[in-house]
Amino acid sequence: MTSDFLQALQAVLPRKAILIEASDRAAYETDWRHIHRHPAICVALPENAGQVAAVVKLCAGAGVAVVPQGGNTGLVAGGVPVAGAPQIVLSLKRMNKIRDFDPIGNSITVEAGVTLQEVQQAALAGEKMFPISLGAEGTAQIGGVISTNAGGLQVLSYGSMRRQVLGLEVVLADGRIWNGLRALRKDNTGFDLKQLFIGGEGMLGIITAATLNLLPEVSGRATALAGVATLKAALDLFQSLRAQAGAAMTMCEFISAPAMALSLAHIPDGRRPLDAAAYLLVEFSAHGEPAGIISLLETTLEAALSDEIATDVIIAQSERERAELMRIRETISEGELAEGGAVKHDISVPIGRIPETIRAVEALIAQKFSDCRLNIFGHLGDGNLHVNVRPPAGQTLQHLDSRKAEITNEIETIAVARGGSFSAEHGIGQMRIAGMKTHKSEVELDLMRMLKLAFDPSRILSPGKMLP
């Protein structure tokens, strides 16, 4: 069957667009964290929506599942094969054209394989801004960023990917192409179909292009790292900064002391900018005169120091200093992976409940998993915390294999019990299905299953993902 299928696929795609050898497939079959690796029949690399549609139609007829893949930077193994199913990886990387740029309408239309960084650069070249920013933006592709509804560093002010999408082009499970590439801000003509595919993780269709919203170019930024003595002080400082800056406050990242140490250990000549129990990395952005935004941040932080909300502050005086502060935040995950990885959790809670949530997690680890090390950081401004549990010093992640499920269930339960979510921005993929079964109601799961069966009755798209 495999031989016949590959022969039929070669009639749809050029031979160079089909990777068959195990050595060629390997990078596409392994997730970013190197936890899951399962074989695919092949990797298909189409270069336009018509080819994607032809591949999907062929797979549907042959009973072969399709795993859509973008930059493969996800943290829940959503873009790689699962065990026990005949499947292909369909990589969108060759679909990398910018189709249209509209400076008057403030929109850009790009294919799914264009990286997030390339969209940002195209926007800047046209004196505009695309606001989504991730640590993996040089590799993450727009199709994957949309299908996971990624958030990143500036959700506080600009929202997640869902808010940036004006229109989509999608290949459906039967091989039809839905062209919804509309650059309209208002279109009240029935169901907003694009919303079903944003955050859908490729379960309902394969995104092949998108029309995205652009914003006016930022004229200046003011960035600072502030030390705080307590979790309550971190929340108080955030509230004070937000009250003064409003929407101009575009970033507020929480970095625990262990996360700071882990990051600095993996930055050449990395030095701790200041000593504190915990840190907030904050940024104000201006669309007008930049001097005003710098003065506003300085004045607000001076007041925080005077009121003993902050213990120490560093304000970046140049783009180089800003980059150094940003690098600390961006290197946390890289350092964690380099030191053996962690049992990762991506939770969110109402902002006011962040201190009690962190205290509950710390108490849990101290009482039940005292040999483990906590690494907590994340987007305090939108309530999203990355709560990662590392093995004891000198041990590999396999040391926690027998306790992973228990650790994850306990931490997810802490978040959900406080009105939160067990997956804030990473999605579900293969690795959060147990959480779906435990924390989602049967009504929610039934509605999702109904959508899946309506859009993909043969269940060939993204097998083994999202739904229990």
pLDDT tens sequence across 179-204: 999 999 999 999 999 999 999 999 99
pLDDT for 105 = 96
**Would you list the domain boundaries of the chain?**
2-91, 98-216, 220-338, 346-443
Domains 220-338 and 346-443 share a fold: yes
Give the whole-number percent of the chain exceeding pLDDT 90: 91
pLDDT for 435 = 96
pLDDT for 290 = 72
Q: What average pLDDT is seen over the chain?
A: 95
CATH architecture of the domain with range 346-443: 2-Layer Sandwich (3.30)
Give the span between the Cα atoms of 268 and 20, in whole angstroms.
39
pLDDT for 283 = 96
pLDDT for 292 = 86
Confidence of residue 152 (pLDDT cuts 50, 70, 90): confident
Which position has the token pair 């993204």? 462
pLDDT tens sequence across 359-401: 999 999 999 999 999 999 999 999 999 999 999 988 999 999 9
Q: Give the mean pLDDT of 99-108.
A: 97
pLDDT score of 269 more than 90: no
pLDDT tens sequence across 28-78: 999 988 889 999 999 999 999 999 999 999 999 999 999 999 999 999 999
CATH number for region 220-338: 3.30.70.2190
- The CATH class, in words, for 2-91 is alpha beta
Whole-model pTM: value is 0.93
CATH architecture of the domain with range 98-216: 2-Layer Sandwich (3.30)
pLDDT score of 1 more than 80: no
